[in-house]
Structure 1
């Protein structure tokens, strides 16, 4: 492997890491807003959507912290965090799909899940 190839791989890794962190930040905000739109006195489905939205926002926030942390973190820790975030985002998107007005949060959750999956693919 040449130095140029190594530098290109490093740049790609950092770009993917940043894109994933940004997607997580966007998702955290969208899910928190989506959850706040759910009527707390509404049907049980609203309660599930609120809980999933909050859970997704927390998972994304935690993932942002991991991705912005020290670069020498173990790959295993980063991978586990990304997989957890991806799974929570997909669950949240599925729940928000059933609620009119939560389309943006559902779409943002799916975008974040894909960013996590893309970044996982760059890990060895």
Structure 2
């Protein structure tokens, strides 16, 4: 039988894992949308925004899948994936900060960074 404390830890782990996966999904959607709005024949800065948005969407999508599926990913592997996601999302938020009209995308990236950070605390 599991103690109340370990049950509470398990619930928190699952809640934070789900919140992180949800934030990854939202961030992926926002980044893909932002990337599609960038003119592929535009300036170097627009190309940077497009590339970063696509990368962020792909990393968030992979992280969401890793968190949502029972794919045998151990805690160390999960930590690496979530830390990678957090890093890419933070970089993407900084890129979006300088793009007029990209505030929502930058916010989605920061929400994902926050969710990843919170989830990483329960992995300790």
- When normalised by structure 2's length, the TM-score is 0.95
Give the aligned CA root-mean-square deviation in angstroms.
Answer: 1.2
Corresponding residue number in structure 2 for 1:59: 59
Corresponding residue number in structure 1 for 2:123: 123
Corresponding residue number in structure 2 for 1:6: 6
1:48-99 deviations in Å (ceiling 9; x for gaps): 0000000000000000111012175210000000000000000101111111
Tell me: CA distance 1:20–1:68, structure 2 relative to 1, closer, same or farther (3 Å).
same
Deviating above 2 A after TM superposition, structure 1's stretches of 4 or more consecutive aligned residues are none
Aligned length: 123
Instruction: Determine whether 1:73 maps to 2:76.
Output: no
Corresponding residue number in structure 1 for 2:82: 82
Provide structure 1 residue ranges, at least 5 long, that are not aligned to the other structure.
Answer: none
Provide structure 2 residue ranges, at least 5 long, that are not aligned to the other structure.
Answer: none
For the residues of structure 2 that align with 1:7 and 1:71, how far apart are their CA atoms?
Answer: 22
Corresponding residue number in structure 1 for 2:98: 98
Instruction: Determine whether 1:31 maps to 2:31.
Output: yes
